[in-house]
Amino acid sequence: MFNYEIIQSLNDLELSLYRYIMKNCEKVVYMRIRELADEAHVSTTTILRFCKKLDCEGYSEFKLKLKMYIEKNEDKKVNNDTSLIIDLLKKLDNDEFEEKMDKICEQIKETNNLVFLGAGTSGILCKYAARYFSSIGKIAMYIDDPYFPTNYKAYESCVVIVISVSGETMSVVEHISNLKREKCVIASITNSEKCTISKISDLNISYYVQQEKIGISDITTQIPVLYIIENIGKRLHNKFIND
């Protein structure tokens, strides 16, 4: 409802009104326009102009959208059933999974440059993965900042392991496109094989867990990703590095 473009379009009076509304959402949905004008120290004209910028026909529609916005962002109970994780890890124990893991290990063995790429929580896991692989004898780097200035020529012919829950992060997709032009091998770990990142990867491992959000924050479990990262690392060490 209050996206970046809308907030950027507000003038000083409208920003003052916005700040009041955000601090008093639950009260505002029951206020008349005159009451809000008095409380926020703005005119009714400012309120109506504010509503129009939020693509509302009038104050009544604004209050309805605000109520829906509040309900959407209310705290919800999150799934804490450990049996689902146990079941997932069992499902990953199959021949197709084993074959994909071996292929990734073979690609990593043949390269001197290994890079992990991701953003947000996935970016944090990239940092962990780079340290984990370096600890077992395969030096790795990571890119966890979508705006990191990158000389893609420096990554020519390297193996890039992309981590993304949604598989649709635009900045990560752009990085992949640039890296593919430098003949990099792209392997991805995503929640679904139907996402964009999976489709443009040379190899994908998907784990399929229920995606969970609180408001705009994605809190989908990362346990499957950690399992896959560590499994690749240990497999690489046992099968290749010790050869």
- Check which CATH number belongs to the domain holding 25 and give it: 1.10.10.10
Q: Pick from 72, 95, 120: which residue ends a domain?
A: 72
- Domain carrying residue 38: 4-72
Please tell me whether residues 86 and 48 are part of one structural domain.
no
> What tokens does 224 get?
């499957």
Last residue of a domain, one of 25, 43, 72: 72
* Residue/partner pairs of 47-50 with CB below 8 Å, 24 or more apart: 47/17, 49/14, 50/10, 50/14, 50/17, 50/18
Sign of the torsion angle spanned by Cα atoms 107, 145, 141, 111: positive
3-state secondary structure of 38: helix
The CATH number for 143's domain is 3.40.50.10490
Q: Global pTM?
A: 0.69
**Total domain count, the chain:** 2
What are the 10-residue block averages of pLDDT along the chain, 243 residues in total?
A: 85 93 92 94 94 93 90 64 71 85 91 92 95 92 82 84 94 91 94 94 90 76 92 87 57
